[in-house]
Amino acid sequence: MSTEERLDAKKPKVEAIPLAALTPFRNHPFKVKEDEEMAQLMRSIADAGVLSPALARPLPDGGYELISGHRRLAACKALGMDTMPVIIRDLTDEEAVITMVDSNLQREHILPSEKAFAYKMKYDALKHQGTSSQLGTKLRTDELLAQNSSDSRNQIQRYIRLTHLISDILKLVDEGKIALTPAVELSYLQPSEQETLFSIMDCDEVTPSLSQAQRLRRMSEEQRFTDSAVMQLMSEVKGNQVEYVKVP
């Protein structure tokens, strides 16, 4: 085989892969939503086909794990297509996670929960690769995360803290009913304490301010977190109260 042929063999090839052979990425943190962006994507694919190929890696037992292109896959399925163009690449678990996160973080609209779990997955992958041991400290791994991101190292740390929230409270963050900074404070509460807090928030239709969230965290750390103490704290009237309406 000539040098030219060997180089050609290494080039990524775009293949028409059956949709049934494509498996979504395990624990994929980005949601595929049926919104206006998806409607536009479907119209584009219906008119001109899939212009940008997806990326996948071979699975040991056959088929392929999708790394980027989950929205394209959903659109193709909705349009009744049988195949879609995919670049197949052999990637380690860590390489696959890093590539998946980086390709999806370029999207325009990303929920806080999506960023939280994406950054956590990439952080763990970098750590597992030995990046942190090579560079010396956890700090450097955070800095490496920030290099390919619009978020600062501190902001990335805040997002990763959100992975400690129970799903009901994290949903309120995604809906914009709790801001990022108070949510980070609430992430230090025990899961059972978060359940208690959510029950009170849901019943009284209130959310904590930053000051209240900080006090709730102190109550937890000092083992003073009780139902009555939380109810009393959350009953305080505050100027920036964010109320949310429950739709029957």
pLDDT tens-place string over residues 46-88:
999 898 999 999 998 889 999 999 999 999 999 999 999 999 9
Instruction: Provide the pLDDT for residue 65.
Output: 94
Determine what percent of the chain falls in helix, strand and coil, rounding each to the nearest 5.
Answer: 55, 10, 35
pLDDT tens-place string over residues 8-51:
555 678 899 999 999 999 888 888 888 888 899 999 999 998 98
pLDDT tens-place string over residues 154-195:
899 999 999 999 999 999 999 999 999 999 999 999 999 999
Query: In terms of pLDDT, which residue wins out, 3 or 116?
Result: 116
pLDDT category at 106 given cuts 50, 70, 90 is: confident
pTM: 0.78
Helix/strand/coil for 173:
helix
Element (H, E) at 8: helix 3-10
Write down the residue that tokens 């929205």 correspond to: 71
Instruction: Provide the pLDDT for residue 9.
Output: 52
Query: In terms of pLDDT, which residue wins out, 229 or 8?
Result: 229
Other beta carbons within 10 angstroms of residue 74's beta carbon come to 18
Average pLDDT of the residues in 230-242: 74
Average pLDDT of the residues in 92-107: 87
What are the tokens at 112? 């806080």
Instruction: Provide the pLDDT for residue 1.
Output: 58
The Cα 130–Cα 126 span in angstroms is 7
| Amino acid of residue 76 | C
Nearest residue to 96 via CA among 119, 122, 74, 133: 122
Average pLDDT of the residues in 103-109: 79
pLDDT tens-place string over residues 108-153:
788 999 999 999 999 888 887 765 444 444 546 666 666 666 788 8
Query: In terms of pLDDT, which residue wins out, 236 or 15?
Result: 15
Instruction: Provide the pLDDT for residue 139.
Output: 47
Instruction: Provide the pLDDT for residue 84.
Output: 94
What are the tokens at 66? 């999708």
Cβ atoms 177, 186 nearer than 8 A: no
The Cα 186–Cα 168 span in angstroms is 12
Radius of gyration over every alpha carbon of the chain, rounded to an integer in angstroms: 22
**What residue spans of 52-209 are helical by DSSP H?**
70-78, 93-104, 112-129, 131-135, 138-147, 153-161, 167-174, 180-186, 191-204
